């Protein structure tokens, strides 16, 4: 071969070798892999450029040696390196030896060494060749991965990786095993339905669809342990790839305590709401809940043509039970009444206690007022049934007011107001009855409110005057006494008759105060008449039972007598037969005390109260007063004739005085005189007159 061809061939070979060397350097740089060689005979060491870079050195700064490498190993790794080198000489290879090298700049690297011993023709080790790879980043990542795996494995949360298609578990952590009581192998052989007893396949499919859209969802469910017990968990679910498979990871947190706390909180809220909306004694809805239900019922009825009735029920004279038997027994009565009323109320309707002795019923979805009428009749009847309380039989009646939707009102406020007005109308009609609302009743209710306010002001401003009606001995036509009768001089409407305000005064608790005003004015006037030499006779004062029952009555009476200069022998107290028979034993004791001071006692309206002759005989009585209802039709009415004769005969047998009131005709007077009753009071002789007119009458003569 010519020299020039040889030179060309040589040049080509050099270029190829150079290209291969450059390629190898690029490979080393890309893979961060350096090569090295150690001559075992002369200990000369060669490093590739990448090896220098790995150790942070320049080729000009160092001639590498095996000793340099060993001296830069981390102390803990040196024994392993020396051992590996020794084994390499014997066995011929070093594979995947990891160690740490501390560079001159202080940085510690994790490196992976792979080496091989090269033998000469005599099978003697001549060279040690190999590679150095910087695996610091890989080691760091592995360490991080291991730490993360530990965190996941030993997390107190339950962590599951689930196959997307089969719902079987691909991974479970220790927290899941501890929570459920299963081993890891047991759980890995199960699917999600095995520990989720309330989870249906359809629900799981819906969850997967949500994961497709949102990649992550939050869910609450129930887990069942191996021992069968259950607990509540909150699950955070996220879609992912696991070992190349479609899967989702579930992070479950035990929220049983939270769920229990929320349950207790809801129970407490429910109890509090119940207390706010229910009566504590009867556990019935209270006024507030009644208004709310009434409002809701009205809204519902607007969509139909049905009606609604509201019944207000007030127990008649219930205060007497509390006063005589005590509030504890009164509460027992209210409980018994509530049970009776509940038996009449159908499902969907409302029975409420408004407070005190007042109840209400919402009767909804009625077609006509007859249904409300029938219920009111049933309520009236069932309340009148005898009640046994601690061995005592009690009889109670009720007054009921009824308003209707939509004819009376179209909102709850007016329905309540109108039912209340109707209830008071029932009371005004004598109690133990029911009344439907009408516009007239509303007017009367407003009049009552105004009257009550005016009456309180009248007592405060002393707007009352006393009129006197003479009582006459019909045989001599002489005045024997005067009945004091109160009149109200209203500043704007003038004289108000007693039947317009006395019942109201009794109902609202002003009768005692009113009685004392009359008592003081009348005694003062009588003392003046007697002091002026006139002879008005006996002062007859009506005595309300509340006045008699007040603790300070006798002391007050004696104080007024002394204060006015009145003589107790001039006084006669009249108490109605009906009031006296409410509590006769207590009345007997009080009247005996009064009688001991020389004060006369008379029974007013005798014959209307069905009094017992046994009690009548024991009372310290001086006089009976025949009620005007028996006198009115004398002498034509046979029954009135018989009753009047019987009362006269009874009076004579008991040695009592007798007077007849309401005498208006000469025929009535003659009948009474002929049958033994000559004391008379009535328009035949005189109407009630103010003190000035009585004074003129007395100044003329005691005859009338």
For the cut 70, the answer to whether the pLDDT of residue 433 exceeds it is: yes
DSSP string covering 581-618: TTSHHHHHHHHHHHHTTT-EEEEEEETSS---HHHHHH
Q: Is it true that the peptide bond before 635 is cis, omega within 30 degrees of 0? A: yes
pLDDT digit string, tens, across residues 484-537: 999 999 888 888 888 888 888 887 889 999 999 999 999 999 999 999 999 999
pLDDT score recorded for residue 558: 93
Backbone angles phi, psi at 634, to 5 degrees: -75, 145
pLDDT digit string, tens, across residues 65-120: 888 888 899 999 999 888 888 777 777 666 678 899 999 899 999 999 888 888 88
pLDDT digit string, tens, across residues 577-602: 777 766 777 778 888 898 899 999 99
| Rounded Cα–Cα distance for residues 62 and 313 (Å) | 113
| Rounded Cα–Cα distance for residues 605 and 465 (Å) | 23
| Mean pLDDT, residues 673-692 | 94
| Mean pLDDT, residues 534-560 | 90
Q: Between these two residues, 229 and 317, which has the higher pLDDT value? A: 229
pLDDT score recorded for residue 432: 87
Cβ–Cβ < 8 Å for 374, 401: no
* pTM tops 0.85, yes or no: no
State the average pLDDT for the chain: 86
Q: Between these two residues, 14 and 437, which has the higher pLDDT value? A: 437
Of residues 356, 383, 344, 343, the one with CA closest to residue 279 = 356
β-partners of residue 406 are none
For the cut 60, the answer to whether the pLDDT of residue 363 exceeds it is: yes
pLDDT score recorded for residue 394: 87
pLDDT score recorded for residue 67: 86
| Mean pLDDT, residues 641-654 | 91
| Rounded Cα–Cα distance for residues 380 and 361 (Å) | 13
Of residues 102, 43, 91, 96, the one with CA closest to residue 67 = 43
For the cut 60, the answer to whether the pLDDT of residue 611 exceeds it is: no
Cβ–Cβ < 8 Å for 281, 331: yes
Residue 278 carries which DSSP code?
Answer: B
């Amino acid at each position: 071969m010519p020299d020039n061809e040889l030179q060309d061939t040589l040049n080509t070979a050099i270029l190829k070798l150079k290209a291969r060397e450059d390629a190898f350097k690029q490979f080393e740089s890309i893979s961060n892999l350096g090569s090295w060689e150690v001559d075992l005979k002369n200990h000369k060491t060669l490093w590739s450029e990448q090896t220098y870079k790995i150790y942070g050195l320049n080729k000009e700064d160092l001639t590498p040696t095996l000793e340099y490498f060993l001296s830069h190993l981390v102390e803990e790794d040196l024994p392993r390196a020396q051992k590996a080198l020794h084994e390499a000489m014997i066995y011929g290879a070093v594979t995947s030896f990891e160690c740490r090298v501390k560079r001159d700049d202080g940085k510690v690297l994790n490196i992976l060494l792979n080496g091989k011993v090269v033998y000469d023709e005599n099978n003697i080790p001549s060279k040690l060749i190999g590679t150095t790879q910087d695996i610091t980043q890989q080691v760091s990542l592995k360490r991080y991965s291991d730490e993360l795996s530990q965190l996941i494995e030993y997390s107190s949360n339950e962590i599951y990786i689930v196959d997307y298609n089969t719902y079987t578990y691909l991974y479970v952590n220790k927290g899941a095993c501890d929570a459920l009581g299963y081993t890891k192998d047991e759980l890995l052989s199960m699917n999600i339905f095995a520990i989720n007893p309330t989870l249906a396949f359809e629900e799981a499919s819906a969850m997967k669809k949500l994961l497709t859209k949102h990649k992550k969802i939050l869910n609450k469910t129930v887990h069942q342990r191996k021992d069968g017990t259950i607990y509540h968990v909150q699950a955070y679910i996220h879609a992912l790839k696991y070992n190349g498979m479609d899967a989702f990871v579930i992070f479950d947190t035990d929220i049983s305590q939270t769920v229990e706390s929320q349950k207790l909180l809801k129970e407490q809220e429910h109890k509090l709401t119940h207390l706010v909306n229910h009566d504590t004694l009867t556990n019935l809805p209270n006024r507030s809940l009644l208004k709310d239900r009434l409002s809701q019922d009205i809204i519902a009825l607007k969509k139909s043509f049905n009606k609604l009735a509201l019944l207000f029920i007030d127990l008649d004279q219930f205060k007497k039970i509390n006063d005589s038997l005590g509030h504890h027994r009164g509460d027992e009565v209210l409980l018994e009444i509530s049970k009776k009323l509940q038996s009449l109320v159908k499902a969907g309707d409302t029975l409420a206690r408004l407070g005190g002795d007042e109840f209400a019923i919402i009767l909804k979805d009625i077609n006509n007022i007859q249904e409300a009428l029938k219920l009111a009749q049933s309520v009236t009847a069932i309340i009148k049934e005898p009640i046994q309380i601690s061995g005592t039989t009690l009889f109670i009646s009720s007054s009921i007011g009824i308003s209707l939707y939509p004819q009376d009102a179209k909102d709850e406020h007016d329905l309540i107001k109108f039912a209340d007005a109707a209830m008071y109308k029932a009371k005004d009609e004598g109690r133990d009855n029911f009344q439907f609302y009408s516009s007239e009743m509303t007017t009367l209710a407003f009049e009552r409110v105004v009257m009550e306010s005016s009456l309180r002001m009248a007592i405060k401003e002393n707007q009352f005057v006393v009129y006197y009606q003479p009582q006459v001995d019909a045989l001599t036509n002489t005045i024997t006494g005067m009945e004091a009768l109160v009149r109200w001089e209203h500043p704007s409407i003038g004289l108000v008759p007693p039947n317009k305000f006395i019942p109201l005064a009794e109902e609202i608790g002003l009768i005692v105060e009113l009685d004392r005003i009359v008592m003081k004015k009348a005694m003062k006037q009588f003392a003046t008449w007697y002091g002026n030499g006139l002879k008005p006779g006996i002062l007859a004062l009506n005595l309300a039972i509340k006045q008699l029952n007040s603790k300070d009555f006798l002391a007050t009476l004696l104080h007024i007598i002394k204060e006015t200069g009145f003589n107790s022998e001039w006084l006669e107290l009249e108490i109605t037969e009906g009031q006296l028979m409410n509590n006769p034993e207590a009345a007997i004791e009080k009247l005996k005390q009064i009688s001991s001071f020389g004060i006369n006692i008379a029974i007013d309206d005798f014959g209307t109260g069905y009094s017992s002759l046994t009690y009548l005989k024991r009372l310290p009585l001086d006089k009976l007063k025949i009620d005007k209802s028996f006198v009115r039709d004398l002498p034509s009415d046979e029954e009135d004739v018989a009753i009047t004769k019987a009362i006269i005969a009874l009076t004579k047998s008991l040695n009592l005085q007798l007077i007849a009131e309401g005498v208006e005709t000469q025929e009535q007077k003659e009948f009474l005189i002929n049958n033994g009753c000559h004391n008379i009071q009535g328009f035949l002789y005189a109407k009630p007159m103010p003190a000035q007119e009585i004074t003129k009458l007395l100044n003329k003569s005691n005859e009338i």
